[in-house]
């Protein structure tokens, strides 16, 4: 008689999943019931506070009268300032158009079908166009100082331009750190370790306060540009270590095979090594991007008002000061949408590339 056990057919459906994962024994059943009760209790409280008892009209008196509900009226009252900062009210269509164009450009850049050589000049032309749109002074647009920029457009610009510009610089630093030329290797190591050894606040402070002291008399560089350069240098140092990890993960046989085919150093890197290394480092690279997107809130220390800073300023209004929680929830939702979208894209891209490897 055969002792081979016959495995029952796999069961599917949410009921079977709950039996197997939540109520598989008495202890799991008790823990699951307690957790479900707490979750339901929490969600019921959130719905009562955030929807059923909430005030949606921009009326501070009504909000104070309804003390057991949220006051979303502060968002209706302050959303323009939170999103656009002190940009002139009658010109706010310009940062809005810039954001739409910026997000559309990012989405196109993330689609694999758009990964063509013409994407680079498109980015350069778009950045020039966005600069003209935000600054103005030409084509009948009124001039707006960048000291009036703020809110979400500033956050997007610092994060996206910072990470996109840091990407090729990080690759060069990673290659330089692995270079056989001592001078290049030492310089790259010194730069990476020096920048990674200080917090971003220090880099921004140096770029804003210390850097102008070394410029010739009469020469000034815009504060926003200095902050952007500081973010680029800081991000590139971290990305360099991420890329170095990817380069070291590529099997040595790949280098030897490329050498056997007579490829030069740059051909080996461009055709053989970098495609594999970049595929390996997708998760930590996206993690760095998400971290930088949130760290842009530190530019407040040098007098730039990003999305979080404008939200803080908005709740200094004595009439609406009591409803700061709603403002922070609103800002957190914006951050979450962007960060979760980037994380989801990275997961999908990683899954798609793995399918390509399996085939």
pLDDT at 40 over 90: yes
pLDDT in tens, 289-312: 888 888 888 888 778 888 888 998
Q: 214 lies in a domain?
A: yes
Q: 52 lies in a domain?
A: no
pLDDT at 268 over 70: yes
pLDDT at 34: 93
Whose tokens are 């699951």? That residue is: 32
pLDDT at 352 over 80: no
pLDDT at 10 over 90: no
Q: 8 lies in a domain?
A: no
Half-sphere exposure at residue 3, Cβ-oriented, CA atoms within 13 angstroms: 0
pLDDT in tens, 175-207: 998 888 889 999 999 999 998 888 888 888 888
Alpha helices in the chain (DSSP H): 14-21, 26-47, 60-65, 73-84, 93-110, 119-135, 151-177, 182-196, 200-205, 223-249, 252-260, 265-267, 274-280, 282-295, 307-314, 324-358
Q: 180 lies in a domain?
A: yes
Domain total of the chain:
1
SS3 55: strand
pLDDT at 3 over 60: no
SS3 306: strand
Q: 78 lies in a domain?
A: no
Which long-range contacts does 68-74 make (Cβ < 8 Å, 24+ apart)? Answer: 70/323, 70/325, 70/326, 71/320, 71/322, 71/323, 71/326, 72/326, 74/314, 74/315, 74/320, 74/323, 74/326, 74/327
Tell me which residue of 92, 99, 49 sits closest to 338, measured CA to CA: 99
The predicted model scores a pTM of 0.80
**What is the span of the domain harbouring residue 194?**
145-352
CATH of the domain at 253: 1.10.3720.10
Please report which confidence band the pLDDT of residue 13 belongs to, taking 50, 70 and 90 as the band edges.
confident
Distances (CA, A) of 24 to 9, 20, 28, 198: 18, 5, 6, 50
Q: 65 lies in a domain?
A: no
Whose tokens are 């606040």? That residue is: 201
Q: For Cα atoms 37, 41, 42, give the angle at the middle one, nearest 5 degrees.
A: 120
29-33, 132-136, 221-225 — which one is most confidently predicted on average?
Answer: 29-33
101-115, 212-226, 233-247, 269-283 — which one is most confidently predicted on average?
Answer: 233-247
pLDDT at 172 over 80: yes
Q: What distance in Å separates the CA atoms of residue 309 and residue 337, rounded to the nearest whole number? A: 18
Q: 275 lies in a domain?
A: yes
**The CA-based dihedral angle spanning residues 99, 100, 106, 111, taken in that order and rounded to the nearest 10 degrees:** 170
- Specify whether the CB–CB gap between 234 and 195 falls below 8 A: yes
Q: 118 lies in a domain?
A: no
């Amino acid at each position: 008689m055969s002792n081979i056990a016959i495995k029952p057919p796999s069961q599917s459906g949410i009921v079977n999943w709950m039996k197997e994962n939540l109520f598989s024994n008495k202890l799991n059943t008790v823990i699951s019931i307690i957790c479900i009760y707490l979750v339901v209790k929490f969600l019921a409280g959130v719905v009562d506070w955030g929807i059923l008892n909430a005030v949606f009209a921009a009326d501070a008196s009504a909000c104070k009268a309804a003390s057991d509900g949220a006051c979303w009226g502060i968002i209706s009252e302050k959303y323009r300032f939170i999103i656009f900062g002190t940009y002139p009210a009658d010109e706010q269509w310009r940062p809005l158009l810039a954001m739409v164009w910026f997000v559309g450009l990012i989405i196109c850049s993330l689609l694999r079908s758009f990964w063509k050589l013409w994407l680079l000049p498109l980015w350069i032309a778009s950045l020039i166009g966005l600069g003209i749109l935000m600054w103005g002074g030409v084509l009948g647009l009124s001039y707006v100082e960048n000291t009036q920029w703020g809110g979400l457009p500033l956050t997007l610009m610092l994060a996206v331009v910072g990470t996109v510009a840091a990407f090729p610089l990080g690759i060069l630093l990673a290659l330089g750190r692995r270079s056989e030329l001592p001078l290049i290797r030492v310089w790259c190591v010194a730069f990476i370790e020096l920048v990674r050894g200080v917090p971003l606040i220090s880099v921004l402070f140096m770029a804003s306060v210390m850097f102008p002291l070394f410029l010739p008399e009469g020469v000034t560089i815009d504060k926003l540009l200095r902050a952007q350069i500081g973010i680029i240098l800081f991000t590139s140092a971290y990305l360099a270590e991420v890329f170095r990890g990817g380069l070291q993960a590529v099997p040595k046989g790949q280098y030897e095979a490329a050498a056997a085919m007579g490829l030069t150093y740059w051909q080996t890197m461009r055709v053989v090594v970098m495609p594999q290394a970049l595929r390996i480092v997708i998760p930590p690279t996206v993690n760095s991007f998400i971290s930088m997107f949130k760290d842009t809130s530190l530019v407040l220390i040098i007098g730039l008002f990003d999305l979080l800073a404008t939200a803080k300023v908005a709740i200094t209004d004595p009439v609406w000061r009591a409803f700061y929680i709603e403002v922070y929830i609103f800002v957190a939702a914006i951050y979450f949408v962007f960060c979760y979208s980037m994380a989801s894209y990275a997961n999908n891209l990683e899954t798609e590339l793995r399918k390509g490897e399996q085939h």
